[in-house]
Amino acid sequence: MSHSVGAAQILKSRGYSGPRNEFERILLLALRGPVVVEALSDDRIHFTPQEWADLVILHLDDGTADGDLMVCLGRLPTLMQRGRAAMKLPPHSQPTEVRKLQREISALYQTYQPVLERLRERWKGVDASVLRNDAYNAVQKRMLHCHYARILGLGLAVGIAINCALLSLNTSRGSLRDETNCMVDDIMGLEPVLKEYRPLGGLMMTLCLGAAWVGTADAEMKKRIEALSMDYQRDIDGGEISVESITQDLDCHRRQFSLE
């Protein structure tokens, strides 16, 4: 059982009554993180929309950039599951569900854009707010610098997932492809930063690179991402990683993001 699947089971077993103290609030947030991230690519993590709202989204850190990211991310797995189901419907009933999903995911897209912009702006200002801020010691500066980079990477991956879902549903929004290419470039720009924090600091790159691989149509970029993915996967698995296993992992991301 993966850590995220176990965390999902803990959240379901606990039910939702709100945290009783600050320690429990932090623990719930720590459980939420792997659940919402891994749910994008792991079908074993399944919640109803109401369970996502009550158990996973939590609303314990609303108003923060990180919290708003998680709220938007927590809405994606159910929408993507419904999208995959809609693609398998008979032709006479598929258009109605597809149009409904187009509206719902488009609404999420609109909600998410300012959230992603906040993450980008925070990263742009990281030198002044963290690295040159004497209120933090050296260890705190490294932790915050790594955290802001990781969360921006996750935010970009979420943005790519939303755009890919809209493209799979043939949503008529001309800027989606260009926006996705920009997010791919931004992820690749973060890679030199996050590699300095390997192994633990760079683990987010496996998801980010998977999203970037799905998001780009450029063959050379895909090859570059595949090579980086093999390198980062060694931080998780150790030893030699085969090209076939990386290709399978990346193709899994493609199927998930493309609603197959």
HEC profile for 3-72? HHHHHHHHHHHHCCCCCCCHHHHHHHHHHHHHHHHHCCCCCCCCCCHHHHHHHHHCCCCCCCHHHHHHHH
Give me the pLDDT at residue 258, please. Answer: 81
Is residue 7 a contact partner of residue 31, using CB atoms and an 8 Å limit? yes
Q: SS3 for 157-188, per residue?
A: HHHHHHHHHHHHCCCCCCCHHHHHHHHHHHHH
Q: Where do we find the tokens 């920009």?
A: 182
Tally of CB atoms within 10 A around 248: 10
CA distances from 20 to 8, 26, 28, 51, 218 (A): 20, 11, 11, 20, 50
- Give 200-203's long-range contacts (Cβ < 8 A, gap of 24+): 201/146, 201/150, 202/232, 202/235, 203/232, 203/235, 203/236
pLDDT at 77: 87
Residue boundaries of the structural domains of the chain: 87-257
For residue 108, the model assigns a pLDDT of 96
Phi, psi of 47 (to 5 degrees): -130, 150
Q: Using an 8 Å Cβ cutoff, are 169 and 202 in contact?
A: no
Per residue in 40-73, pLDDT (tens digit) is 777 788 888 788 877 666 677 778 898 899 889 9
**Closest of 144, 221, 122, 140 to residue 180, by C-alpha:** 221
Give me the count of residues in the chain. 260
3-state class (DSSP) for residue 239? coil
Helix (H, G, I), strand (E, B) or coil at 47: coil
pLDDT score recorded for residue 89: 87
pTM above 0.95, yes or no: no
What pLDDT score was predicted for residue 1? 45
Q: How many CB atoms lie within 10 A of CB 78?
A: 19
**Cβ-contact 231, 211 below 8 angstroms:** no
Average pLDDT by stretches of 10, the chain with 260 residues: 78 78 84 81 80 73 85 89 88 87 95 96 90 90 93 96 92 86 96 90 88 95 93 80 82 82
pLDDT in tens, 127-141: 888 888 888 899 999
